[in-house]
Homo-oligomer: A and B are copies of this chain.
Amino acid sequence: MHKQAMTLISLPESRAEAEALDATDPLALCRDAFALPEGVTYLVGHSLGPATIGALRNLRAASEGAWVNDRVGAWNSAEWIHLSEHVGNRLARLVDAKAGEVVVCDSVSINLFKLAASALPLARTRRLVVEEDEFPTDQYILDGLSGLTGVDLVRAAPGKGISQLEGGVLVKSLVNYRSSQLADMAADEASAQSGGGVIIWDLSHATGVLDVKLSAASARFATGCTYKYLNGGPGAPAFVYARADVADRLETPLPGWMGHSAPFEFTSAYAPKTGTARFASGTPPILSLAALNGALDVFDGVSMVEVQSKARALGQMCLMMAEGMGLDIASPLDPASRGGHVSVCHPDGYPLVRALADWGIEADFRTPHTIRFGLSPLFLGYAEIWDAMSELAEIIETRSWDTEAYREKAIVT
């Protein structure tokens, strides 16, 4: 997360060199854990991670096993009642957090609301700040909180959130969803804290692909989604991180019975659980949570330093080859300033993406011109990226994307 030197992986200059990198890749075996069909190069792990064998197995165990056989008793027998905290504890290692500092519940949107509201009393000034190129839902949620509380919301220019913070509460993505620009968490935290401000980090595009260093950066608040690089499944519940030394002072604005210290006493008065678990609210979606729990198996024993290094090397290959095709690069060229995806622009980005898909190469598109390639290091290989980018070069050279069928507009991309 700090702008440290990346572990250097020399970029391949031929398919043979790419194959050689695959042969010594410490993460190469992880691919076997994924339920990816043959012939697909999946470059959309930054949007929806693919299914893993572990996620599917856990989902079956929770549904065809526990739900069918134990029914309501599975809250005890399958420990569903502890699942939000259990999965949070497994996730903690991936973001440099401690046991008890992470709980899995609700969505990023809802969790941003909880954290921003509970951070306000800690901030020197009652002021909410968000950058105007921030992921939209982050902006909308702050609009909602501002509307309810009367606290001013300031929309700062891109990159100007810290300088306009003035001791308030800033919601900020560690990795920008569009450009992949990486913020300097430690520097931003130091700057914000020195002025009495608080940052709520949105780690959606960072968790599971970067070596996120919450503790090292003295970060106090974060949330993030689990269906991208963590492969938790579509709409898998999000997480909440609150640093142990502040968590017990926080009051969630959405207190629900699952965050109560004794939910089955059914008392009228809310008494929060110790630590971050207080941010659990209603009953969590157990089936989705079970899939996420299984998906995390693939990270067992995996070094996040290696994950980050490989993601950046794959991203660099993409960008270098895209530059060679004359595409506009919309991500930082320095890999240490990037997240796990890279973006390029092309006036016919959408038909290009559709043409690529016909070759089994799946990328995504964001209006108006952005093509994003997600470089999930656990299931992608160097030769695979070499081949995908070579195919893209050929599609561009032959203009094979330039047909009516490819230009047709989709609802979701």
Contacts and interface: CB of A to CB of B under 8 A. Distances in A.
Interface string A91-123: 000000000000000111110010001000000
Contacts of A264: 367, 411-413
A291 B80 CA distance: 17
B234 A113 contact: no
A108 B44 contact: no
Interface stretch (A61-69, A162-170, A300-308): A61-69
Question: How many copies altogether?
Answer: 2
Contacts of A285: 234-237, 285, 287-288
Contacts of A140: 255-257, 260, 270
Q: Quick one: which of A71, A80, A284 has the most chain B CB within 10 A?
A: A71
A56 B63 contact: yes
A284 B233 CA distance: 11
A235 B113 contact: no
A155 interface: yes
Interface stretch (A23-31, A131-139, A335-343): A131-139
Contacts of A36: 68
Contacts of A132: 268
A297 interface: no
A106 B136 contact: no
Interface in A130-150: 132, 135-137, 139-141, 143-145, 147-149
Nearest to A84: B235
A233 to B, nearest CB: 5
B48 A56 contact: no
A136 B135 CA distance: 34
A254 B110 contact: yes
A51 interface: yes
Contact of A50 (B64, B71, B270, B411): B71
A233 B286 contact: yes
Interface in A269-294: 270, 281-289, 291
Interface string A152-173: 0001000000000000000000
Nearest to A114: B144
5 contacts: A48-B72, A59-B287, A62-B234, A110-B281, A149-B149
Given A48-B71, A110-B254, A136-B257, 20 more contacts: A51-B67, A56-B64, A67-B234, A75-B412, A106-B282, A107-B281, A108-B282, A135-B257, A137-B282, A139-B270, A140-B255, A140-B256, A141-B256, A227-B283, A234-B283, A235-B286, A235-B289, A264-B413, A266-B366, A285-B285
